[in-house]
Amino acid sequence: MGGRTLYAFSVYSGAEVAEHVNDLALETTELSKALNKLQHRIEHDLESTKLSLEKMMQKLEEKEDNSQDRIGDLEKARKEQISKHIDDRLAKLEATMHDTIEARLALLETKVGIQVEEAKSSSGGWRLPLVLIVLCVAAYMAYTARSLKKLSQRDKLF
């Protein structure tokens, strides 16, 4: 170590040390009071923040409930709109189909009517042959009856 000092110390008198210690004690007391005030203020701020957050959470929950209700109302209204739109669309389709079917039925009735009229006008052609056949059968029956009558008279003679 050879006469070399590692640390340099100043030498103070007892009164100076006491005054320094007293100053340090006063400063420590002030720091302690400031620390207590700071701690109290932080606790107060934390409590205030906690209450503010709780109110905010409560408001958010209320808004969420209101939003849920509004969403439900919007869904219900949209379903009603869709249902009404579908009903209107079905009514239009039914009307269109009804008109189309009525038009086709009218066309079919017209075509059938024309065919019936054609059949009526051409059906006069079967009446004449029928009348001729009936007359031929009647004439044959009359001839046969007369022939039978002659035969029966002839048989009476013998």
pLDDT tens digits, residue range 54-78?
999 999 999 888 889 999 999 999 9
Report how far residue 83's alpha carbon sits from residue 106's, in angstroms, rounded to the nearest whole number.
34
pLDDT > 90: percent of the chain: 49
Q: Within 13 Å, how many C-alpha atoms sit on residue 14's CB side?
A: 0
Which pLDDT band, with edges at 50, 70 and 90, does 2 fall under? very low
Which of 90, 88, 108 lies closest to 98 in space, CA to CA?
A: 90
Which pLDDT band, with edges at 50, 70 and 90, does 4 fall under? low
Instruction: Determine contact, residues 15/7, Cβ cutoff 8 Å.
Output: no
Report how far residue 92's alpha carbon sits from residue 96's, in angstroms, rounded to the nearest whole number.
6
Phi, psi of 2 (to 5 degrees): 45, 45
Token pair in block for residue 100: 């189309």
* Long-range contacts from 116-123, C-beta under 8 angstroms, 24+ separation: none
Which pLDDT band, with edges at 50, 70 and 90, does 129 fall under? confident
Instruction: Report pLDDT digits (tens) over 76-121.
Output: 999 999 999 999 999 999 999 999 989 998 998 898 888 888 777 7
What element of type H or E holds 12?
none
Which pLDDT band, with edges at 50, 70 and 90, does 5 fall under? very low
What's the pTM? 0.39
